[in-house]
Amino acid sequence: MDDFKKMMEKIPLLASGRKIEGSEYIAVRKDESTLPILISTIPIYDENNKLTGFRSIIMDITKRKEEEEMLRELEERWHFAVEGSGDGVWDWNFESNEVFYSRRFKEILGFEEYELKNNISEIMDRIYPDDYQNVIGSINMHLKGETPYYTAEYRIMHHNGNYIWAQDRGKIIRWDGDGKPVRMIGTFTDITVRKKLEEEIKKLAYRDPLTNLPNRLLFNDRIELTIVGSKRNNRKFALMIVDIDRFKKINDTYGHVVGDKLILFVGSKIQKLLRKSDTISRFGGDEFLLLLPDIKSKDDAKKIAEKILSNFQEKFIINGKKFTATLSIGIAVYPDDGADSTTLLNNADAALYDVKDSGRNNYKFYSSTLIKPV
């Protein structure tokens, strides 16, 4: 009855000569079963331009309605599955440039459901500036068909003003007749915890667990980069090996707890004496490596070595006990004492060995006359 009433309401429009666009109705078959139909009607005129009747086209749209219902159910299931996983959902219409953001999407960013408008700028304007071009590039690559789907990891501003890490995944699901993208849907995931874990893992891989100073692996990377830069710019740099005098005796006498605190104390104190461009690394045990880039001459390295030694002449207290921990330092200078990291390390070690053999608490530069340790 409702559909019949809707159809009858169009009769006056037809009588006035207006074309009626296709409208959907429910029709009743002879066996009283129903089916969805689409009716389009136009007026007919005689040679005197007098309205004489109407012509209607009736189409059975059962299959189309079934497909629409199937698509709706699939989208509902997809939304349900994604929302249940804790991810947000977005649905981008390129023709209107409107974006639907799901409730969960807004929750991740700390917004109430009514607080975000359905436009793309709501999100793009919140992306961390350094990450913006990467996101745009990834979107464009997918729109051009260069990638099977869009994916990007980036920092985005939370409602509280802090940045969180997010991961986007999306795919175009509809094109127009010219093959241009019309609609893309995707997911939005908070990956802040994962990023923090990755940073911790990276830190463990490149940092000494006791002192948090660069470890051997990170130091090797830095010295190789310094060699490349120094060679290109014709500059010198110094490599120092610093060793705590009689550390084994202190460690054996007072235990590993005191020994560890002494290593921490020495590493921290040396770091404060260096330039920002310098690197101090714990190479293991009580041994530290210092990388001093861009020095003009050996005198620059000499001044730093003397500065370090002078700061370890007075007693200090660890666990209520007074200590005097002096240092021995061996120095090699690039390129005079070696053009590669292995040679420089070996030569700095030879200089350190000579300091130890000569009474400790001093520094020496490498010389070809030194006897290298076996």
Q: Where are the chain's structural domains? A: 2-60, 83-195, 208-365
Q: What percent of the chain has pLDDT over 70?
A: 89
**pLDDT grade for 9, boundaries at 50, 70 and 90:** low
Rounded distance between C-alpha atoms, residue 27 and residue 17, angstroms: 25
Helix 216-233 to helix 341-357 angle, to the nearest 10 degrees?
110
Rounded distance between C-alpha atoms, residue 298 and residue 223, angstroms: 18
Rounded distance between C-alpha atoms, residue 271 and residue 280, angstroms: 6
Token reading at 30: 């002879």
DSSP 371: P
Structural contact between residues 339 and 237, judged by C-beta atoms closer than 8 angstroms? no
Rounded distance between C-alpha atoms, residue 344 and residue 334, angstroms: 7
Q: What percent of the chain has pLDDT over 90?
A: 47
DSSP 91: E
Rounded distance between C-alpha atoms, residue 37 and residue 235, angstroms: 84
Question: Would you say residue 4 has pLDDT above 70?
Answer: no
Same fold, 2-60 and 83-195: yes
Question: Would you say residue 3 has pLDDT above 70?
Answer: no
**pLDDT grade for 226, boundaries at 50, 70 and 90:** very high
DSSP output for 105-124: HHHHTT--TTSS-SBTHHHH
Rounded distance between C-alpha atoms, residue 312 and residue 277, angstroms: 22
Structural contact between residues 329 and 363, judged by C-beta atoms closer than 8 angstroms? yes
Residue 307's φ and ψ, nearest 5 degrees, are -65, -40
The reply to whether the predicted model has a pTM over 0.85 is: no
Confidence at residue 250, expressed as pLDDT on a 0 to 100 scale:
86
Residue pLDDT, tens place only, 165-189:
999 998 998 888 788 888 998 889 9
The predicted model gives 262-279 an average pLDDT of 93
Confidence at residue 24, expressed as pLDDT on a 0 to 100 scale:
75
Opening angle at CA 90, ends 86 and 94, nearest 5: 170
Handedness of CA 247, 248, 253, 258 (dihedral sign): positive
Residue pLDDT, tens place only, 68-83:
777 776 666 666 555 5
Helix 256-273 to helix 298-310 angle, to the nearest 10 degrees?
140
The CATH fold assigned to 208-365 is Alpha-Beta Plaits (3.30.70)
Run of H or E residues at 59: strand 51-60
Residue pLDDT, tens place only, 286-327:
999 999 998 999 999 999 999 999 998 888 888 787 878 899
The CATH H-level (homologous superfamily) assignment of domain 2-60 is: PAS domain (3.30.450.20)
Q: Which CATH architecture has domain 83-195?
A: 2-Layer Sandwich (3.30)
Handedness of CA 102, 104, 107, 112 (dihedral sign): positive
Confidence at residue 143, expressed as pLDDT on a 0 to 100 scale:
92
Token reading at 189: 């995931």
Residue pLDDT, tens place only, 32-87:
788 777 777 777 777 777 777 777 777 777 787 777 777 776 666 666 555 555 78
Nearest to 290 by CA among 266, 270, 307, 306: 270
Token reading at 66: 């079934």
